[in-house]
Structure 1
Amino acid sequence: MPAVAERPEFTPPPEGSLLRSLSFAIVAHLLLVLALSLGVQWKRDDNTLAVEAELWSPTAQEAAPKPVETPPPPPPPPVVEKPVVQPPPTPPVRSDADIALEREQERKAQEKARQEEAERQRKLAAQRKRQDELARQEQAKKDQAKKLAEERKREDQAKAKRQQDEERLAKLHEENLRRIQGLAGATGSPGATGTALRSSGPSDSYAGRIRARVKPNIVFTDDVPGNPMAVVEVRLAPDGTIIGKRVSKSSGVKSWDDAVLRALDRTEVLPRDVDGRVHTPMELVFRPRD
């Protein structure tokens, strides 16, 4: 009992000595080599007897032919499997109910597509309507701003006109006051009906003096029918220098108009009136046969 208690039932047995195991292995190998040697020797002895033994017989006998070993048959060719051609699938036979169902599905799909297209067109129309409304509102704002600008411009113009009228009236009032105050120093004749201190128009002899100054400077050799009249507006400086000229009414003969303008350029300075004044602007009339 004590020995059982010291060695449990399921524990492996204790290992033996290594030398003992090695000895057993060497003996087993030697026995195996000996058995193989005996087998080879026995086979060798048997072959020797078959080659060297001779049999004698009182009658000559011919030996049978040596058996010819037939070669093994060639292996069969590999079997090539032909591809199996599957017949085309036969279309399934549809019943009237399937056809009717398919048509109903197509009709529903077309109806859905029409509804979606109608909804898209409705949204596009609503969007265009909103854009048009915004454009109208923007145009209305521009028109209102333009109207206000025009009204403001008219008001400014009316204000400027009122101011000009007021200035003109004030100036006229001032001139009237000066005229009234200077009536005692007037230089007109007893039968004069004017209100100025002196006459502002040129004297009777002033036109002749200007003609006498300008005519020698006219160079014109063309033969024109009649006696065409050229009217030239002349502007003078306070000393009588010609500072501007233009043909206010053409004679119809350009060469005559140009000759008059060139003559004024040569004249340069026009004489003063008898009272020493210079009248500007004034219109001068020229005819080739005057």
Structure 2
Amino acid sequence: MHAATDRLEFAPPPTPGLLHSLALAVLAHAFLLVALTWGVHWKRDAISVTAEAELWSAVPQAAAPKLVEVPIEPTATPVTPKTPVVTPAPPTPPPPVPQVQPSPPDPNIALEREKLREKKELELKKQQALDKQRLEKQRLDQLKLEELKQEKLQLEKKRLQDKRESDKKAAEDKKKAAQEAQRKETLQAQEDAKKLAAQRKANIERMTGLAGASGGPTARGTQLQSSGPSTSYAGRIRARIKPNIVFADDIGGNPAAEVEVRTSPDGTIISRKLTKSSGVKSWDEAVLRAIDKTEVLPRDVDGRVISPLTISFTPKD
């Protein structure tokens, strides 16, 4: 059973309409047989044929030479028998055409057809499923494309809105900057006007107070008295502090140590601070000890003591 099934799997499919064709062929042969039988019977009844036949030599023969006549005895003349009339026998009717009985259906063929039908149905279902999937994919792609278009439109709309907002903000910032610049210009103009008024007032006061000025004949200041020390004041301070410096080391060069000194109005030293080292620690310490030992600085020519005051000390001054 399995061998026949395997063989029929690769056999060509049976011709459709086989039973119908066989039935038509059987009917046509039956009709032909009836027609021939009726025709032969009609001819046999209507025609009676009588025929005569003579026998002749089938092969031509040459005549013999003429004989010398010899008297012979008279004999009886032979009578040639007549050829009997032969009546043709009636034609033998053709044998009846055997009717072809349709063979019973082969169960293997039916099973093969059922398999083919199921296979076609399965292929049809697969094709329908593929078509459905393809249509669904096309629908999803279309939906995705529409979503992308909507997102692009939203992004473009948001970009335009952001651009409008940024332009609006830039315009507002520019307006604020212009207002701020105008305000600064106004303040600067007011400040300049105040400075100009103060300078004018100072000029007036200077011109009215020149009589009470304390500067020398060559002085070129504008105040009633100088705020800085005189040219000889630094030398006087050095002369006061230098005797108190105790330093016996031999150093190369002439390094300077700068010290800031703060005093009270009467010249008493309040504090001192090394602002610039000479590079020689022993010299810096000797200068600071000498300032501490001095305690009080002399007054300037105008009776004032400048504070704070920066003094420079060198070993070979």
* TM-score of the pair, normalised by structure 2: 0.46
State the TM-score, normalized to the length of structure 1.
0.49
Larger C-alpha radius of gyration, 1 or 2? 2
